[in-house]
Structure 1
Amino acid sequence: MKRIAFVFPGQGSQEVGMGKSFYDQYESVREQFAKADDRLGVSLSQYMLEGPEETLTKTEHAQPALLLLSTSIVQLLKDEGIKPELVAGHSLGEYSAHVAAGTMSQEEALSLVQKRGQLMEEAVPAGQGSMAAVLGLDVETIERVTSAIRDEGEVVEVANYNCPGQIVISGSKEGVDEACVRLKEEGAKRALPLNVSGPFHSRLMKPASEQFESELKGVSLKEAEVPVVANVTAKPVQDKDQIFDSLVEQLYSPVRFEETIRYMMDQDIDAFVEVGNGKVLSGLIRKVNRRMKTFNIQDPESLEAFLEWYKED
């Protein structure tokens, strides 16, 4: 039997029309979309299928939308008897991974990430926080420059270790702007401000994490049926207490995605399956190891292509 790992995309992978082909083809998906609308008290399925884009892109909508599609596809894979060896997600995607691992229900996760999105939006006043992607510069230089800026009194730190040559920084607008200038002087190919609503995965999210902790206490976490490789440590978690701590810390800690992928590759994985909208993670995985086999499942055609490979002798 082939050994596979599921990975789940995070915020930024949303787009109007996501999931429409699954919605049209599968009654089970239509049922899950309708239940999500009822659970959240918003027309989430309408935002996903029809837009408008500015409504779908709001953090409190984008996060449950991405989770809903990913976990609806997971159910289709389960119906086919597919079970991964390991699961992981990128930031928000870690919640889809936990649903896939059985640590929380889809319904609980939807409410949780809706609240998570609201708290992240509210943590820092609009325009005061920022994030930027730094391309073509080594980690050591980025950490040295951001550390120097912190010593001068501004907040800026690494938010995502995505893949070789792609690091995301986060912090105050002034701190990120200054870091972009200095990192270009240090040889970065590009330092691009991101279109996000806050300084995610930075210490400025600590107040949000404290409020989020009380929300998470209301979820009946279970032991993971398959290991979830946590963003915070790039190590597998299965114990309920470990899972709780890792999800609280994740809000203000960097996403160690490259380390996560390297760990999973070391577990003799035959292929990574990106479950949900887009191909962002598949691209990052190939930058870690271009020979690694990847699939992305975001419509019935890509689901069939994966199943055909998985079931062939």
Structure 2
Amino acid sequence: MGKLAFVFPGQGSQTVGMGKDFADQYEVAGSMYNQVDDVLGFKLTDIIFNGSQEKLTLTYHAQPALLATSMVMLEQFKTSGIAPDYTAGHSLGEYSALVAAGALSFPDAVKAVYLRGKFMDEAVPAGEGTMAAILGMEAQALKEVTDEITNQGDVVQLANINCPGQIVISGTTAGVEKASALAKERGAKRAISLVVSGPFHSSLMKPAAQKLEQVLNEVTVTDAEVPVISNVTAEPMTTKGEIKQRLVEQLYSPVRWEESIQTLLDNGVDTFIEIGPGKVLAGLIKKINRRANVFSVYDLQSMNQTIEAIKEEKSC
């Protein structure tokens, strides 16, 4: 067995009831969720466990809810003694990756992502910005499309470069609609509008990034104990100065997920464990490299199966 990476999901993976089996089973999980309510000053756990899905999906609820649930699952998973050589997270998931790598404390991360969600929500009035997934088109060809539309006055750019043939674009509603149409004209298989509350990872998020920078200056960021792959550069980062800078840039820069996974593979990682709700990243990693060993920890059963499988691999 080669090296091991823990990866953490971002927005879109939230579901009502996530993590409840951990909270019911383990005292530490329950107290972590209580800590979230204390930090935020309202009962987010009630929204996580009892919904509605609509309320949970609000950016400023979804972000701390996903971070908290990933960390609750990680805390329990760590008792197995399995530790990562690297961590990485998709967009919001980068904060989970930083907590896992010891660069951010759990309460500070909860506070930061709640405010990050607020700032992202406030940056562009609802309905004025959006995102779409473009399937079956190369990044360079799609970038030519988005540059062309942006130069005509409607801002749109690449936001998430997820895996071969799956790229998300982000910008003004008009920009995304025009780029989607032009991409299809030029050979994209499909353009799917995403249900999001704003144009994340586009230059329209720069006002949110400025506010986030002030928040990050108030929380304690330390050097990471294991390298964290940055969404912005797709390279390992460990120093607190770089971590802060990249978190600010991340809000208006593309998430280079495909390259990030490639970096991990190039550095000897052959086993990936996705920790948190859903199995989105596991699916993307398999599309990037079919030979990678990929596990998902999203409930008690999947956690126990993963621990068993990893221990078996290690003993072979």
Given the two structures, how large is their TM-score scaled by the length of structure 2? 0.97
Aligned residue in 1 for 2:235: 235
Aligned residue in 1 for 2:120: 120
Question: Which amino acid is 1:276 matched to?
Answer: G
Q: How far has the Cα of 1:80 moved from its partner?
A: 2.1
Question: Is the CA contact (8 Å cut-off) linking 1:101 and 1:224 kept in structure 2?
Answer: yes
CA-atom RMSD in angstroms: 0.9
| TM-fit CA distance, 1:180 | 0.8
Match of 1:95 in 2: 95
Contact 2:19 2:72 in 1 (8 A): no
Please give the residue correspondences for 1:135-146 in structure 2 after superposition, counting only pairs within 5 Å: 135-146=135-146
Deviations 1:221-252 (A, max 9, x none): 11100000000000000011100100000000
Matches within 5 A, 1:147-162: 147-162=147-162
Counterparts in 2 of 1:48-67, with a 5 A limit? 48-67=48-67
Structure 1 contact 8–94 (Cα < 8 Å) conserved:
yes
| Shift, 1:309, TM fit | 1.6
SS at match of 2:218: coil
Q: Is the 8 A contact 2:67 2:110 kept in 1?
A: yes
The secondary structure found in structure 2 opposite 1:103 is coil
User: Shift of the alpha carbon at 1:2?
Assistant: 5.6
| Distance across 1 between alignment mates of 2:79 and 2:102 | 15
Unaligned runs of 5+ in 1: none
Shift of 1:168: 0.2
Name 1:13's counterpart in structure 2.
13
Q: Who is 2:252 aligned against?
A: 252
In the TM superposition, what is the alpha-carbon distance from 1:270 to its structure 2 partner? 2.9
Partner of 1:69: 69
- 1:2–1:310 contact (8 Å) kept in structure 2: no
Task: Name which of structure 1's ranges 201-210 and 39-48 shifts more when overlaid on structure 2.
Answer: 39-48
Partners of 2:16 and 2:53 within 8 A in 1:
yes
| Residues 268-283 of structure 1: pairs in structure 2 closer than 5 A | 268-283=268-283
- Write out per-residue CA displacement over residues 243-302 of structure 1, whole angstroms, 9 at most, x where no aligned residue: 010000000000000000001011222310000000000000000011211000011111
Once residues 18 and 239 of structure 1 are traced to their aligned partners in structure 2, the CA distance between those partners, rounded to angstroms, is 32
> What code does the residue aligned with 1:134 have?
I
Question: Aligned residues, how many?
Answer: 313
Q: Which residue of the partner structure matches residue 213 of structure 1?
A: 213
TM-score, L = length of structure 1:
0.98
2:107 counterpart residue number = 107
Q: How far apart in 2 are the matches of 1:17 and 1:254?
A: 30
